[in-house]
């Protein structure tokens, strides 16, 4: 018995260190699928807002952000019956703008151990007039119907995994989109052209700690949520080729293009386990990352609060590992709780009680054996731990 008490005491002592350790994002804790809906709110920035501090064990607080405009959703869509890319699990509708040209396309995605993979884009035939820019009544551009892969067969990691402190990802790829152009003044009649774009993606974990953001209807905002801060930059180079050669300057000017021009994007984004969208995104005008010019934060309701507690005592209670894998014991640390049974209640996403069990505590700690949760299906659960008038509620993910 003495050995058991000593082990449980060590587990209890280890909880604060565990809570301050960086999280690790993996395929199992990144629930992206065809049914995923990302929920965001654009925000106004307080005057003088600078970049977040980098490094370990940070406490970032962005509750001063003010909502700007209406909240919005980004939807994942089902894959069509005859997909353009084998293995695709969901799609998204997008628009590409290059100079004065724009076309719509569908991006195909899949989730793999290496990340959220963008496989490529499917494009339908799209004709449109450019008469107002070139002067010819019948002048036009036609984007061909085509399938455009990204990188190799596995695509490009749109969001790389696994991700934890010290992670860094560098990716480069290029692709081309074809079409025809008619400009009477230039003697072009359905001349073939090709838009070539080269991309460089750099994603680095620049810090870790906890983050607080606004939460509608709760003046205190969100609880401090464990996150990774990812600093990213994207560099895009655009080129246009006509009849297999670089397009002439006169055509580039008419389309508001510069051959080989670069466009760069800079942002910081914060991620937590159990969600396929960032908690917060900060956008910067240049590579100095000095002051953001734009921000958006998550408006997810089901995962936003880390722990809900009925007392200051219960606010310090912990349950881990989370996500809880099959075959793993659930460890509980209830500092200052009495050495008497705590009531555990586990409910599924529909509120149905899956498990109700009393658990004896020793020195404020206890272990729920893996056998008790062996039959749980993958999904999100709510765990309530109660002892007397003290109660804490956790969101528990089964990958």
Residue 337 has a pLDDT of: 87
Supply the DSSP symbol for 371.
Answer: G
Q: Looking at the predicted structure, is the pLDDT value of residue 18 above 70? A: no
Read off φ and ψ for residue 265, nearest 5 degrees.
Answer: -130, 135
Residues 6+ apart with CB under 8 A from 249: none
pLDDT at 301: 63
Structure-token match 């008790």, residue found: 372
What single-letter DSSP state applies at residue 213?
-
Residue count (the chain): 399
pLDDT digits (tens, 9 = 90+) for 182-230: 999 999 999 999 999 999 999 999 999 999 999 887 788 887 888 999 9
| Mean pLDDT of the region 251-265 | 94
pLDDT for residue 183: 94
Query: Which of 57, 63, 62, 53 has the alpha carbon at shortest distance from 23?
Result: 57
- pLDDT exceeds cutoff 50 at 6: no
Predicted local confidence at residue 259, as pLDDT: 97
Question: Do residues 272 and 279 touch, judged by C-beta distance below 8 A?
Answer: yes
* pLDDT 10s digits, 106-150: 999 999 999 999 999 999 999 999 999 889 999 999 999 999 999
Beta bridge partners of 271: 228
Mean pLDDT estimate for the chain: 88
* pLDDT digit string, tens, across residues 96-117: 999 988 999 999 999 999 999 9
Which residues lie across from 282 on neighbouring strands?
A: 268, 295
Q: What is the pLDDT of residue 107?
A: 97
Q: 2-18+306-398 maps to which CATH number?
A: 2.60.40.3080
pLDDT 10s digits, 337-384: 888 899 999 998 778 899 999 999 988 889 999 999 999 988 878 899
3-class secondary structure, 3: helix
The domain spans of the chain are 2-18+306-398, 42-298
């Amino acid at each position: 018995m003495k050995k058991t008490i000593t082990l449980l005491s060590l587990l209890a002592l280890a909880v604060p260190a565990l809570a301050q350790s960086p999280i690790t994002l993996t395929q199992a804790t990144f629930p992206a699928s065809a049914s995923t809906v990302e929920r965001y709110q654009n925000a106004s920035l307080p005057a003088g807002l600078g970049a977040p501090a980098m490094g370990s064990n940070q406490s970032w607080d962005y509750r001063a952000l003010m909502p700007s405009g209406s909240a919005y959703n980004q939807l994942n869509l089902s894959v069509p019956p005859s997909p353009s890319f084998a293995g695709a699990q969901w799609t998204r509708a997008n628009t590409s703008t290059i100079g004065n040209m724009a076309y719509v396309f569908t991006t195909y995605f899949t989730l793999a151990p290496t990340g959220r993979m963008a496989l490529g884009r499917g494009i339908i035939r799209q004709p449109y007039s450019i008469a107002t820019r070139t002067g010819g009544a019948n002048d036009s551009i036609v984007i061909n119907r085509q399938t455009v892969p990204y990188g190799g067969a596995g695509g490009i990691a749109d969001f790389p995994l696994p991700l934890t402190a010290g992670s860094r990802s560098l990716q480069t790829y290029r692709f081309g989109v074809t079409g025809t152009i008619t400009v009477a003044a230039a003697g072009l009649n359905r001349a073939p052209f090709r838009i070539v774009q080269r991309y460089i993606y750099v994603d680095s974990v620049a810090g870790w700690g906890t983050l607080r953001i606004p939460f509608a209807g709760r003046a205190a905002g969100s609880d401090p949520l464990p996150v990774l801060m990812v600093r990213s930059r994207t560099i895009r180079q655009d080129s246009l080729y006509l009849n297999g050669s670089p397009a002439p300057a006169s055509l580039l000017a008419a389309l508001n293009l510069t051959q080989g021009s670069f466009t760069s994007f800079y942002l910081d984004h914060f991620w937590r386990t159990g969600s396929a969208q960032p908690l917060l995104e900060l956008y910067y005008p240049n590579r100095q990352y000095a002051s953001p010019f734009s921000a958006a934060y998550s408006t997810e309701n089901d995962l936003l609060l880390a722990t809900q507690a009925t007392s200051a005592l219960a606010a310090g209670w912990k349950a881990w590992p989370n996500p809880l894998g099959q075959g793993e014991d659930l460890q509980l640390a209830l500092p200052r709780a009495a050495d008497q049974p705590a009531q555990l209640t586990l409910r599924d996403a529909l509120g149905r009680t899956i498990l109700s069990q009393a658990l004896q505590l020793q020195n404020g700690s206890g272990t729920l054996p893996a056998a008790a949760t062996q039959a749980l299906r993958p999904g999100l659960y709510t765990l309530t731990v109660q002892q007397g008038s003290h109660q804490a509620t956790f969101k528990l993910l089964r990958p």
